[in-house]
Structure 1
Amino acid sequence: MAYHKYVHPLDLSEAFETDSAIYSDSADSDELDCPDPQSMSCQCDMHDIKLELSSHPHSMRQVVNIIIAVERLKHIKNMSSGKFCDEELLGFILENVIEERLVKPLNETPIYSKTSLTLQCTICDKYKKTMVQSNKLSDEPLHLKAVTLSAGAMQYKVQFSMSTFVSSATQKEAQPVCLGISNSNLYLACTQLDGSSPVLILKEASGSVNTIKAGDPNDSLLFFRKETGTRYNTFESVKYPGWFISTAFDDWEKVEMNQMPTTRTTNFTLEDQKRI
């Protein structure tokens, strides 16, 4: 049966640096025959495998892998007369030496799936201003404003249905949500108009919002809700990272998208909560 000697060059300086970390686990195992540390080759007589030390540089990882492979070769039980063919060696390497690695596809498009948890609530900023809807009789597009409401005007609060989502991709420490206006098909959406900076609009959902992924018509409806401190929440656009829902200090100003840092507030509380 034909067989071959297998030679692997090994750097002297790195080999001796690993001497204290790598050792044989059997008193009867073959040792490397290296009487002269300064010589350029060392013979390992185990199973006709020859290790050769050379002055060519190799990484420490390569050195350790070689020694581990040799140690494993010493314990093969099914070899006859200490010799084996190419196919047997290849089979051993595939089964014992080569490490299995899980390869994850790059640039995987996250898929957001709606859960059964939907929370009905109103939203106030940290200055106790409540989100209300703009006058439907005005000529400007529908939008939200932040207003300090008196006790007799609470009916103007916007009721939100905040639906939660889970994602197939690794998430930051935040919960993907959609903020819909209760009893309507309107949602808060972060989008770009004519290439401008992202803006906050009220948008009608296109079809089902049970599953959303990047590039879908409804991908602008998703926000990362993150709890800050003990009671505040921030809402960051999923489609435009770094852009947050914000309000101004003064009353009757529009609710808009802003980057951090900003003089506007991005901290909100959820009031009148009820699971639906």
Structure 2
Amino acid sequence: MEFDLSQALDGSPTFDDETFQLSCYDMTDVEDKTYPLDKGLDLVISYNRKTMQRVANLVVAVNRMKKSLKNCGRGLSNEQLCSEILESLVEETTIDTVEQPSRQKIYTRVNSVKHCTITDSSKKDVVHGPEEMELQAITLKGGSCERKVEFTLLRYVTPEPQPGKGQPVVLSIRNTGIHISCSMTGNRAVLKLERCLEEHLERISDEQNMDRFLFYHTVTGLDETKFESVRCPSWYISTSCKDENMLLEMCEVDNVGRLKSFMIN
């Protein structure tokens, strides 16, 4: 035994040896037992595979009820009597919870810069106008190659790399101070172009939403690349499967109507 049942009581249990043994072992097909607690109050026990621990809990509860009911008057209503029983059994416990500070994720830029253009898997090129804060995917004809956006790919490292994820990068439009970002608006991730000084992106943390500029750069088969938002996991930079002159947008991984693979040129 891991405990002495007598320690939980003021005196010895009122059950006889036979009743006590019946309560300690598995019982099947045994009638309910009734024990008088006080005038007009009985305890009915239905046997159903009682363990010694359950027996101990039951005896302690009964003993506490008996001590509490001794101080009650004889003229209590059923509601008052029920309230007294509950007060004798229920203990209030106050638990102080300490909010643990969240661990800040830091992404540090490495000395690796790549200048490139980007084409989706259906050969549409990414373009934008000089006054437009948006990107489009267009199939360019000969002589229009100057409309392609030239990107600067800035690479980052973190002390806690995510398994299965690519390298974090920032996609910037070269020599403009304009960067692609992604943030949640309602239940959708939204792709934007934002101006930000490059020195503010030397070290990026997930505080103040600065990781909205980061994307996981993952190389898939045939040298194709996917860009998954760090701020909005499972949302990818994408283009339309069929339509021309459509905006680059974010889409979820299971969206079959969007192209999520790109060629880095």
TM-score range, shorter chain: 0.5 to 0.7
The equivalent residue for 2:137 is 146
Q: Shift of the alpha carbon at 1:169?
A: 1.1
Q: Shift of the alpha carbon at 1:134?
A: 4.0
Counterparts of 2:161 and 2:151 in 1: how far apart (Å)? Answer: 27
The equivalent residue for 1:177 is 169
SS of residue paired to 1:230: helix
How many pairs does the alignment contain?
166
> Greater share of helix residues, 1 or 2?
2
Q: Please report the TM-score for the alignment, with normalisation by the length of structure 2.
A: 0.58
The equivalent residue for 1:264 is 258
Q: Shift of the alpha carbon at 1:171?
A: 2.0
Counterparts of 1:268 and 1:106 in 2: how far apart (Å)? Answer: 38
The runs of at least 4 aligned residues of structure 1 exceeding 6 Å deviation read: none
The equivalent residue for 1:65 is none
Whichever of the two has the greater Rg, that structure is 2
Counterparts of 1:259 and 1:148 in 2: how far apart (Å)? Answer: 24
Whether contact under 8 Å (2:190, 2:249) holds in the other structure is: yes
Query: What residue identity is the alignment partner of 2:145?
Result: M
Counterparts of 1:251 and 1:106 in 2: how far apart (Å)? Answer: 47
SS of residue paired to 2:146: helix
Whether contact under 8 Å (2:216, 2:228) holds in the other structure is: yes
What are structure 1's unaligned runs of at least 5 residues? 1-104, 272-276
Whether contact under 8 Å (1:113, 1:165) holds in the other structure is: yes
The equivalent residue for 1:3 is none
Whether contact under 8 Å (1:111, 1:212) holds in the other structure is: yes
SS of residue paired to 1:208: helix
Q: Shift of the alpha carbon at 1:160?
A: 0.2
Counterparts of 1:153 and 1:172 in 2: how far apart (Å)? Answer: 40
Q: Please report the TM-score for the alignment, with normalisation by the length of structure 1.
A: 0.56
Whether contact under 8 Å (1:126, 1:265) holds in the other structure is: yes
RMSD value over aligned CA atoms?
Answer: 2.4
Q: Indicate whether 1:238 and 2:230 are aligned.
A: yes
Q: How does 1:71-220 map to 2 (within 5 A)?
A: 107-134=102-129, 136=131, 142-173=133-164, 174-193=166-185, 195=186, 197-205=188-196, 208-220=200-212
CA offsets 1:26-74 (integer angstroms, 9 cap, x no match): xxxxxxxxxxxxxxxxxxxxxxxxxxxxxxxxxxxxxxxxxxxxxxxxx
Counterparts of 2:206 and 2:217 in 1: how far apart (Å)? Answer: 18
Percent identity, please.
31
SS of residue paired to 2:152: strand
Counterparts of 1:227 and 1:106 in 2: how far apart (Å)? Answer: 34
CA offsets 1:86-115 (integer angstroms, 9 cap, x no match): xxxxxxxxxxxxxxxxxxx99532210000
What are structure 2's unaligned runs of at least 5 residues? 1-99
Counterparts of 2:236 and 2:264 in 1: how far apart (Å)? Answer: 16
